[in-house]
């Protein structure tokens, strides 16, 4: 009987050992599964974040230049106007237009026109401050919004950009150097909405074109002309 009990106890002990092995294996499997599930979830969240970022970028960024597109530009301008109205800080706006841009497309083709637009965008980003917003309004027209900046300072920035554009040619594929010029109209916010501010800057731009292009004109100068 004692021998039989010992055999029985050994069998029970062996089953317990195997059971512990089984529990350990199941635990390791669950742990591994959890790790892989966590990694998969992390990758999924990262992919989702990238997709959302791409969608946001596509909705707010101009494909050709990487600048703010018209939608983002107008939305940001509304925020800047609300801030200027609340704080009393100055706000200026410039509309820039590439002179005789149609001639570029007609003479050298649309790829050359795209290169000219990218060149102006890059030059504009070099002369503005970090808090300024450069956007493409459409076609060959650009907008620079200058928060906390009076019209004289904004005028000087646009003049530096005009001089840089006139000095540095656009190098087309094949080494062709294309000289371009830029006209700009500058206005300062003194109440009203973005439509009013844009219209005043556009009137100044129209005056710059009328005076012979390749120049910067403020809305005050346009009014006095």
Q: Which positions are annotated as active-site residues?
A: 140
CA 183, 144, 77: angle at the middle one, nearest 5? 135
Quick one: CA torsion of 6, 7, 9, 13, rounded to 10 degrees? 130
**Residue reference for tokens 């940001």:** 76
Give the span between the Cα atoms of 217 and 171, in whole angstroms.
Answer: 28
Alpha helices in 128-185 (DSSP H): 151-167
Q: Where are the alpha helices (DSSP H) in the chain?
A: 2-60, 70-87, 101-108, 110-127, 151-167, 194-210, 219-224
* Sign of the Cα pseudo-torsion (23, 29, 30, 32, in order): positive
At 17 the three-state DSSP class reads helix
Burial 109-137 (b: 16+ CB within 10 A, else e): eeebbebbbebbbebbeebbeeebbbbbb
The β-bridge partners of 218 are 186
Please give the C-alpha separations between residue 214 and each of 53, 68, 85, 114, in angstroms, as whole numbers: 38, 24, 33, 20
């Amino acid at each position: 009987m004692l021998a039989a009990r010992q055999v029985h106890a050994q069998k029970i002990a062996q089953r317990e050992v195997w059971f512990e092995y089984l529990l350990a294996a199941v635990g390791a499997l669950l742990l591994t599964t959890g790790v892989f599930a966590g990694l998969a979830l992390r990758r999924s969240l990262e992919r989702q974040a990238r997709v959302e970022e791409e969608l946001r970028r596509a909705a707010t960024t101009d494909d050709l230049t990487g600048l703010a597109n018209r939608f983002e530009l107008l939305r940001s301008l509304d925020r800047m106007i609300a801030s200027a109205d609340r704080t009393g800080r100055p706000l200026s706006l410039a509309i820039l237009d590439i002179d005789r841009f149609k001639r570029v497309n007609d003479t050298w083709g649309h790829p050359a026109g795209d290169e000219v637009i990218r060149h102006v965008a890059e030059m504009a980003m070099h002369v503005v401050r970090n808090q300024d917003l450069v956007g493409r309004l459409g076609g060959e027209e650009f907008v620079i919004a200058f928060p906390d900046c009076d019209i004289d300072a904004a005028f000087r920035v646009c003049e530096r950009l005009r001089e840089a554009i006139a000095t540095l040619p656009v190098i087309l594929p094949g080494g062709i150097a294309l000289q371009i010029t830029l006209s700009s109209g500058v206005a300062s916010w003194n109440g009203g909405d973005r439509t009013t501010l844009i219209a005043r800057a556009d009137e100044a731009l129209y005056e710059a074109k009328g005076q012979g292009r390749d120049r910067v004109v403020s809305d005050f100068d346009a009014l006095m002309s």
